[in-house]
């Protein structure tokens, strides 16, 4: 395989990882928001 | 009898939280399932808050926040969000090294390239017609 192809493949894979990371970070932020929300409910309501 | 219609949605409003806090044993809680309002036990409604907290924490960290429970299951779980982030970051570092290696081995390219330039190179390589692209020697 030529060097260009290898570079292209590696950088495509890198970009795929970046996309994965941003997707997971988004999920993490959503969970974070839900966590603090439910903690607030718990705190205010003395559940 | 005063009642509270609790529609559990991803973002509960502050009003809902305050109403929920003021519930007395006189109140009846209903929850909305599809188009139907179902009477719900108030204790159950409140315990659901704890259940949800547990669920969210386990989704995030892969173990329970409960100190006793977490001792039993406090192991990194790659399926959970925190573990996934760590995994991807590690893979990214590896891949970055790989991309760097190919750039380094390419005689025509400067030794250290910031990432945006790599993308430009990649785009240029993709757009270049295969016939006009000379084959470079494979790295030793």
ipTM of the complex: 0.77
Same domain? B64 vs B91: no
Same domain? B59 vs B8: yes
* Closest CB from B23, B60, B118 relative to A35: B60
**What is the model's pLDDT at position B78?**
42
Confidence of residue A20 (pLDDT cuts 50, 70, 90): very high
- Could you give the percent of chain B with pLDDT greater than 90? 1
**What is the model's pLDDT at position B70?**
47
Same domain? B59 vs B90: no
Same domain? B67 vs B109: no
Q: Is B47 part of a structural domain of the chain?
A: yes
Query: With an 8 Å Cβ cutoff, are B56 and A35 in contact?
Result: yes
User: Model pTM?
Assistant: 0.57
Average pLDDT over residues B77-96: 82
Number of domains in chain B: 2
Residue A46 — φ and ψ, nearest 5°?
50, 45
Confidence of residue A22 (pLDDT cuts 50, 70, 90): very high
Structural domain containing residue B92: 81-124
A6 and B CB contact within 8 Å: yes
Return all residues near B87 (Cβ < 8 A) that are at least 6 apart.
Answer: B78
Same domain? B67 vs B85: no
Same domain? B57 vs B102: no
Looking up tokens 């949800």 gives B52
- Tally of CA atoms within 13 A in the half-sphere of B74 that contains its CB: 8
B130: DSSP letter? G
Summarised one tens digit per residue, pLDDT across range B104-118 is 766 665 555 556 656
Q: What is the largest CA-CA distance in chain A?
A: 65
Average pLDDT for chain B: 68
Q: Which residues pair with B4 in a beta bridge?
A: B29
A36 and B CB contact within 8 Å: no
Is B128 a residue whose pLDDT tops 80?
no
Same domain? B103 vs B63: no
Q: Which residues pair with B31 in a beta bridge?
A: B6, B38
**What is the model's pLDDT at position B113?**
56
Q: Is B42 part of a structural domain of the chain?
A: yes
- Tally of CA atoms within 13 A in the half-sphere of A17 that contains its CB: 19
Same domain? B66 vs B89: no
B118 or B140, greater pLDDT: B118
């Amino acid at each position: 395989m030529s060097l260009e192809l290898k570079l292209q493949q590696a950088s495509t894979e890198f970009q795929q990882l970046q996309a994965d990371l941003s997707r997971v970070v988004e999920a993490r932020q959503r969970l974070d928001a839900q966590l603090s929300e439910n903690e607030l409910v718990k705190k205010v309501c003395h559940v | 009898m005063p009642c509270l219609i609790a529609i559990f949605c991803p973002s509960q409003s502050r009003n809902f939280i305050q109403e929920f806090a003021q519930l007395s044993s006189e109140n009846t809680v209903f929850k909305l399932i599809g188009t139907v309002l179902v009477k719900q036990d108030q204790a159950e409604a409140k315990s659901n808050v704890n259940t949800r907290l547990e669920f969210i924490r386990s989704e995030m960290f892969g173990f329970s926040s409960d100190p006793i429970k977490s001792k039993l299951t406090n192991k990194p779980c790659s399926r959970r969000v925190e573990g996934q982030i760590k995994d991807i970051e590690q893979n990214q570092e590896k891949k970055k090294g790989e991309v760097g290696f190919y750039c380094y081995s390419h005689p025509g390219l400067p030794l250290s390239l910031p990432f945006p330039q790599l993308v430009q190179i990649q785009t240029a390589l993709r757009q270049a017609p295969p016939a006009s692209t000379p084959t470079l020697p494979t790295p030793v």
